[in-house]
Amino acid sequence: MCASSAEDRYKDFFPDESREYLQKTFKSFEDDVVLEVYTEKGPHDEFNKFALNVCRAFAALTDKVEVREYSLSDEMARKREIITSPTILISPNRYDIRFLGAPSGEEGRALVEGMALASKGAEGLSETTTSLLSRIDDQREIRVFASPSCPYCPGQVINAFKAAIGNPAHVSAWCVSTQENEEMAEEYLVGSVPHTSINDIVAFVGLEPEEKFMAQLVYLKSLDEILEETGVFEDQEHEEGDAEEVDLVIIGAGPAGMSAGIYAARSGMSAVLLEKQGVGGQVALTPKVENYPGFSEVGGLQLADILSAHARIYTEIKQFVEVRDLRYGDRIEVETDSVVYRAKGVLLATGVNVRLLNVPGENRFYGQGVSYCATCDGNFYRNKKVYVVGGGNTALTDALFLRSLDAEVKIIHRRDELRAEKALQEATDKEGIEVIWNSEVLEILGETGVRGVKIRNNIDGSETELEADGVFVAIGHVANTELAEKLGVELREDGFIKVDQSQRTSVPRVYAAGDITGGVRQIVTAIGQGSVAALTAFEDFSRMKV
């Protein structure tokens, strides 16, 4: 197929906003990137087609991406030791970086970022990461199990890819989509994503900060063991990165942060948006959104993509970048791994974390039957018996989503009435989802994985053990206020940030928006607060000499 016909055929594969973002990303490539795509006709034909079309569409957008297509029967497949279809290799003559499965949803983000990293090579890595990787002189095989619906997965996949790029002679990094590779996921006892296995020796669940990931890779031990034995992080001093001047640093890329980015840029301010995980915040974890104006029904991940595509038109979103420190002064210094931003002001949109049950078995079985994200992990519990703990919107949304996956689901609630919206309660009743009222979880039971829960009836004090394959915890959230506390920001009695009607905090030039401010924690309110905060910052900066 000639270049012009390929461009015509695939020019509409991506939405306009995504295409503009991709073209901008490809322009930043330093070296050309080769994608080898391996497929075999069979039960994965739908995934094969998607993987091929995505890669072909990339190549149609830029001459810096070359796609080579092979079948699993080709000699090249044997040479590369390809084990499943589809498989995508990134610059395989330089690195062992591969996707096992079709890069849909959040996995597509990781593929694009992996290509960008491969184009820059080791020069694109931080000094700390490069230093840690230089200590590895034997083989490391990283397997990150991911799901298209998991916003945390790309960050962990990128950690693995950075390791393979930083030490290609000794590190291989595979992203394994659990959607197409169920048998491999079962072999590795994957119950939650992202699930990372290194050399089949150390395994951990969840997104890790980059340095912690690299340390575990180096020592082949969990972080707790490393700290106990070596104290590797105790006295470590970070090199101060390059300094960049900017008007507003927005920390957090949920609806509030992305809305603030749009309004900041439209006001004429320079802004940068930092996100340590994936964009979208809690929205990206919501299977279905039915209360966002303009959409009678939209997937949470889809809505997050729409918001991020819009925000990227106006401001730069730096994903998987963690803020290490904040220093207040005439300019507020925001320190990341590679850059120190010197800003007139900071907007905190860091959202919330899930609240834990704090009962025996919860930590032990996290990733082995205990989950806090039905969107990420629900697929593992098809046709299985699960309990959702909670009575709010999240709990009922999770229960409905799990029921849609044919799970046998019941809700455990400590009160005699639910707190969720009426529409969700009606949907739960319609689906025949049973609620176990006035009950609390005392313990999560099991040996190698969850086999049941022990609950107590709050009325008569009786205790009961229930058989279960999984427990989804949805009992609320706690605010991510660590950075706010570093700046001395005043908090409310419930732990959320105290703000005025203009989203100002108690510290001048520090603003907050979204779930971190408590109150009515909805998408529409977060977007409203983000826009107000950005406009307030513009107003303040116009009056101040900073």
User: From the candidates 175, 305, 376, 515, which is the catalytic residue?
Assistant: 376
pLDDT of residue 488: 96
**Model pTM score:** 0.78
Which two structure tokens, joined as six digits, stand for 356? 């834990």
Number of other residues whose CB lies within 10 A of the CB of residue 191: 24
Instruction: Give the whole-angstrom CA distance, residue 463 versus residue 461.
Output: 7
Number of other residues whose CB lies within 10 A of the CB of residue 19: 17
User: From the candidates 373, 398, 469, 515, which is the catalytic residue?
Assistant: 373
Residue 513 has pLDDT above 50, yes or no: yes
| Whether 377 is catalytic | yes
> Strand, coil or helix: what is 251?
strand
User: From the candidates 377, 398, 469, 515, which is the catalytic residue?
Assistant: 377
Q: What percent of the chain has pLDDT over 70?
A: 95
| Structure confidence at residue 250 as a pLDDT band (50, 70, 90) | very high
Question: What is the arrangement of strands in the sheet containing 450-457, beginning at the earlier edge strand?
Answer: 439-446, 450-457, 463-467
Residues 224-244 as b or e (16 or more Cβ within 10 Å = b): eebeeeeebeeeeeeeebeee
| Structure confidence at residue 234 as a pLDDT band (50, 70, 90) | very low
Which two structure tokens, joined as six digits, stand for 430? 């319609």
Residue 126 has pLDDT above 80, yes or no: yes
Q: What's the rounded mean pLDDT across residues 31-35? A: 97
Sequence-ordered alpha helix ranges (H) in 167-241:
182-187, 210-219, 223-229
Q: What's the rounded mean pLDDT across residues 177-189? A: 92
The type of residue at 78 is R
| Whether 150 is catalytic | no
pLDDT of residue 236: 46
Task: Give the β-pairing of 434-436 and 408-412.
Answer: parallel
pLDDT of residue 546: 52
Question: Which residue in 144, 147, 151 sits closest to 178, CA to CA?
Answer: 147
- Among 79-93, 198-212, 276-290, the minimum mean pLDDT is found in 276-290
| Whether 376 is catalytic | yes
